[in-house]
Amino acid sequence: MLIGNEPLDLKLTLIDSAQCFRWTEADGRFGCAFEGGPVWLSRTQAGIEAEGNVDCAALRRYLDLDRDYAGLAGECAHIPAASRAVALMPGLRVLNQPPWETLICFILSANNNVARIRGLTDALCRRYGRKWDGEGGALYGFPEPRRLAACGEEELRALKVGYRAPFLIETARRVAEGFPLDALGDMPLDDAHRLLVTLPGVGDKVADCVLLFGCGHASAFPVDVWVDRLLRDWFGLKCKTRADMARQARALLGENAGLMQQFLFHAARTGAMALDGARREKSPGRQEIGRGASK
């Protein structure tokens, strides 16, 4: 199935951008369990093609292909650092992921690096999710809330999730019992944020990641070590807390601040746009810190 011919960089968006930890790469194809079935994406001369029984419109929404990213670039034309970051990565998109998957993945992200987050997510899916065998290898669905809520703490610790085990179980229980996760996208941002941080293992940064990547709140602005640093270096923002930093960034960058944040974050994390040298020298090897990291 031809999904579209937009300038989407599949590897950058699905694997390298630290916004999603579910996709696997094999022989130039990218696979994941999507809406209850396996799907493989690839880039051909015709455009982006999908293999699997999937809804084209749903997949385009997930990949954010219908958003005007050229218009997004125009919104930040007066802000040199933001404009440059968007221009450097024309194939990057901000995904619209399932809120439940996003919530669990970013609870796992706290104080973790990208490779480990991917490994923990994969371990949960292999142990508790549905398996599909195919030509590109096995793909695993994401465990349902009730299945995760039924786990024992030691059972999850055996998968190396560590101190996050009780957070996962209790959060899964609350979602299974009716926490309005799927309604957060229709709430005002501040209301949705206040509700999310009542869940175990969800602080300000994790909540903003869930709201941005899983609930469609384009102005949600996660502030981790990289974003804190780039806001100080490139924009001169000075705040005592990261919550205040996020509020100032939204005021500066507008209603799509969270989308621009993803470009800025990736530009800083990969070195495509250099941060202050002194600060970078103090933190060697930090480029793989996960989005929920607190240090």
Out of 160, 205, 238, 240, pick the active-site residue.
205
CA separation for the pair 64, 145 (Å, rounded): 26
User: 45-49 contacts: CB < 8 A, separation 24 or more?
Assistant: 46/2, 46/5, 47/2, 47/3, 47/4, 47/5, 47/6, 48/2, 48/3, 48/4, 48/5, 48/6, 48/8, 48/10, 49/1, 49/2, 49/3
CA separation for the pair 136, 24 (Å, rounded): 10
CA separation for the pair 35, 172 (Å, rounded): 19
Angle at 282 between CA 281 and CA 288, to 5 degrees: 85
Q: Return left, alpha or beta for 36; rule: phi > 0 is left, psi -120 to 50 is alpha, else beta.
A: left
Is 238 an annotated catalytic residue?
no
Active site residues: 205
